[in-house]
Amino acid sequence: MTIDIGTLSHEVFAPHLGQTFRFLAPETGSVIAEVELTKLTERPECTPRWAKRTSFSALFETYGPTDLWNGDFQIDHPTMGPLGPFYIVRVIPRDPNRACFELILN
């Protein structure tokens, strides 16, 4: 499945909330981490008037502690396929035993 990043929306991710994704190295496609999509937030206040979709953020959490930090990653899901690369940032986790990463598309 090929998805145009310019039209990638909250609705594309919503059916996969709570499911496992993988962060991949953009250069090699090798798996860096398995993560769970834990939260989606639409951000209409950040959406340019000319945009094809509403801005949104997606939170991904690791299944345990990790030393992984901010970086350029592809995200991969069994039905969506690899997307990106995107610059994804590590944010303060809700659970101290899991690392939390945020993807913002605006």
Domain spans of the chain?
5-105
The dihedral built from the CA positions of residue 10, 17, 75 and 80, taken in this order, carries a sign that is negative
* 13 class by beta-carbon count within 10 Å (0-12 exposed, 13-18 middle, 19+ buried): buried
pLDDT at 2: 58
Question: Does residue 89 carry a pLDDT above 70?
Answer: yes
Mean residue pLDDT across the chain:
91
Q: With beta carbons less than 8 A apart as the criterion, state whether 94 and 36 touch.
A: no
pTM (predicted TM-score):
0.90
